[in-house]
Amino acid sequence: MAVIGIDLGTTNSACGVLGEEGVTLIPNRLGDVLTPSVVGLDSAGKLVVGRTAKERLINHSDRTVAAFKRLMGTDHKVALGRQMFSATELSALVLRSLKEDAEAHLGETVTEAVISVPAYFNDNQRHATKLAGELAGLKVERLINEPTAAAIAYGLHDKREGNFLILDMGGGTFDVSILEFFDGIMEVHASAGDNFLGGEDFVEAMIDSVLKEQGMGRDQLSPRQLQNLTMQMETAKRRISQHPEQRLQLEVGKQKIEWAATAEWFEKLATPLLLRSKRPIERAMRDADLPPQKIDEVVLVGGSTRMSLFRSMVGRMFGRLPSCHLDPDTVVAMGAAIQAGLKSRSAALEDIVLTDVCPYTLGTGVINEDSPEQGEYFMPIIERNTVVPVSVVRRVWTAHENQTEVRVDVYQGENRLVKKNVYLGETSVPVPKGPKGEEAVDIRYSYDMNGLLEVDVTVVSSGKTHNKLIEFSPGALNEEEKASALQKLSKLKFHPREDEENRALIARGERLYESSLGERRETIARLLGNFDRVLERQNPAEIKKARARLQEVFDELDGEDWI
What positions carry a catalytic annotation?
Answer: 7, 69, 146, 168
Taking a C-beta distance cutoff of 8 angstroms, is the pair 181, 157 a contact?
yes
CA distances from 464 to 398, 435, 440, 444, 456 (A): 16, 20, 12, 13, 10
Burial class (CB in 10 A: 0-12, 13-18, 19+), 138: buried
CA distance 28 to 15: 9
Q: How far apart are CA 440 and CA 428, in angstroms?
A: 14
Give me the phi and psi of 373, to 5 degrees please.
-70, -20
**How many beta carbons lie within 10 A of that of residue 323, not counting itself?**
16
CA atoms of 138 and 502, how far apart (whole Å): 29
Q: Are strands 12-19 and 22-25 parallel, antiparallel or unpaired?
A: antiparallel
Dihedrals φ, ψ of 36, to 5°? -55, 135
Answer whether the bond into residue 272 is a cis peptide, omega within 30°: no
Q: How far apart, in whole angstroms, are the C-alpha atoms of residue 501 and residue 29?
A: 8
Q: Which residues contact 12 (CB under 8 A, 6 or more apart)?
A: 34, 35, 36, 37, 171, 303, 329
Which H or E run contains 206?
A: helix 199-213
3-state secondary structure of 97: helix
- Half-sphere exposure of residue 133: CA atoms within 13 angstroms, side-chain side: 24
From CA 255, how far away is CA 259, in angstroms rounded?
Answer: 12
Q: Where are the beta strands (DSSP E) in 439-517?
A: 440-447, 453-459, 464-470
